[in-house]
Amino acid sequence: MDPLRQSPSPSSSQASSPRTLSCEGLGYVGIEAVLDQLKIKAMKMGFEFNIMVVGQSGLGKSTMVNTLFKSKIWKSMMPGLRVPTPQTLQLHSVTHVIEENGVKLKLTVTDTPGFGDQINNDKCWDPILGYINEQYERYLQEEILITRQRRIPDTRVHCCIYFVPPTGHCLRPLDLEFLQRLCRAVNVVPVIARADSLTIEEREAFRHRIQDDLKTHSIEVYPQKCFDEDINDKILNSKIRERIPFAVVGADREHMVNGRCVLGRKTKWGIIEVENMAHCEFPLLRDLLIRSHLQDLKDITHNVHYENYRIVRLKESHALPRGPGWVNLAPAPPTAPGPAPTGTRASPGPAKVCRWAEDNSDEDF
């Protein structure tokens, strides 16, 4: 009698342990075709990607985004007509649909003007964390509906690019605070902004100091070591981790260099070519974010960060006293419960969140 065979009861859901068989023997079955089917389906549905840029004003965040996606994402942010620094931290999102070779991507970029610009920047990360958690909350609410949409719209932030000012020294307390808190809730990719003000040696030294700082404070930036699935991932990601944070320069103007048309910054002492690896590491950033790890960023957001948020929320609502009937998922607190809650809940503060969609006012406790 085959030990692998099982005869379960009529409503049993057990199956015997899988045996590996190769069906190459007698001819081609065609299982491979499922890959193409998947591709076709994915291209038909389109992709979503939500990115957030955080950093003080003047570090070139908007330009960087334009450079990354080779388009005028921020139409209104002309360098000359800089709007006055906002008094409070604001979050500003814009969404576009871009297409390349039949692949449609719905890109949402969230900017954070005013971050770190005040005299007192205490808790300036709260509105950002709040926004991130609000997107998780939205998704969660959709997910627990009885009648769900076929495809839940994904507004969760998949990647947060943090712009470190090129001081050349080490991470500042504001950077450390921010990175510590955010790395637990979202994928964070730190970059050295405006790297054209540092020489190559200065960059390397800066980079190493930053890496040491991150290690000292146990800050896990993307790609996180603990999510490497197999040896190939480890090898690939280790190479990336060695170079993080990337020293980047952004530019959305083209110039002629040696007969070629390149994106770059023109200065009196030369033209900094953005896509030249000798000049800056922008290609590494672009490749990481878009060409190789975009899906991975989304997967980690969905399988790890979102799940962590969900666990905390569901556990919380368990602990609350019950009202009449079956109450319920309590209204989300204005700032995150967060996977690593601080001792006290921060007050909402004077932040305002505005989006292209309707405005949700903060709920009162």
Partner 1 sequence: CRHGFSNVSPLPFQNEELRNLSLSGHVGFDSLPDQLVNKSTSQGFCFNILCVGETGIGKSTLMDTLFNTKFESDPATHNEPGVRLKARSYELQESNVRLKLTIVDTVGFGDQINKDDSYKPIVEYIDAQFEAYLQEELKIKRSLFNYHDTRIHACLYFIAPTGHSLKSLDLVTMKKLDSKVNIIPIIAKADTIAKNELHKFKSKIMSELVSNGVQIYQFPTDEETVAEINATMSVHLPFAVVGSTEEVKIGNKMAKARQYPWGVVQVENENHCDFVKLREMLIRVNMEDLREQTHTRHYELYRRCKLEEMGFKDTDPDSKPFSLQETYEAKRNEFLGELQKKEEEMRQMFVMRVKEKEAELKEAEKELHEKFDLLKRTHQEEKKKVEDKKKELEEEVNNFQKKKAAAQLLQSQAQQSGAQQTKKDKDKK
Per CB under 8 A, contacts with partner 1 among 172-211 are none
Q: Is 260 in the site for partner 1 (CB under 8 A)?
A: no
- Residue 229 engages partner 1 in binding (rule: CB under 8 A): yes
Least separation in angstroms between CB 126 and partner 1: 24
Q: Is 295 in the site for partner 1 (CB under 8 A)?
A: yes
Query: At 23, is the secondary structure helix, strand, or coil?
Result: coil
CA distances from 220 to 133, 162, 211, 323 (A): 19, 13, 10, 40
Residue whose token pair is 């399988």: 303
Q: Which is nearer to partner 1, 269 or 326 (CB)?
A: 326
Alpha-carbon distance of 52 to 7, in angstroms, equals 53
Q: How far is the CB of 308 from partner 1 (least distance, A)?
A: 10
Closest distance to partner 1 from the beta carbon of 320 (Å)? 9
Nearer to partner 1 by C-beta: 66 or 211?
66
Out of 163, 195, 236, 294, the only residue in the binding site for partner 1 (CB under 8 A) is: 294
State the minimum distance, in angstroms, from the CB of residue 319 to partner 1: 10
Interface region with partner 1, contact rule CB under 8 A, candidates 16-24, 199-207, 211-219, 334-342: 16-24
State how far the Cα of 88 lies from the Cα of 273, in Å rounded to an integer.
35
Nearer to partner 1, 7 or 361 (CB): 7
Question: What is the C-alpha separation between 271 and 273, in angstroms, rounded?
Answer: 6
Q: CB of 168 within 8 A of CB of 62?
A: no
Q: Does residue 257 bind partner 1 (CB under 8 A)?
A: no
Applying CB under 8 A, the site for partner 1 has a residue count of 98
Q: Is 2 in the site for partner 1 (CB under 8 A)?
A: yes
- DSSP assignment string, 236-303: HHHHHHHHPSEE------EEEETTEEEEEEEETTEEEETT-TTT-SHHHHHIIIIIISHHHHHHHIII
| 361 binds partner 1, rule: CB under 8 A | no
In sequence order, what are the beta bridge partners of 105? 47, 98
Q: Which of 359, 291, 345, 310 is nearest to 69 (CA)?
A: 291
Show the binding pattern over residues 301-340: x = contacts partner 1 (CB under 8 A), - = does not. -xx---x--xx--xx-xx-------xxxx-x---------
Tell me if 146 contacts partner 1 by CB under 8 A: yes
Site membership for partner 1, residue 238 (CB under 8 A):
no
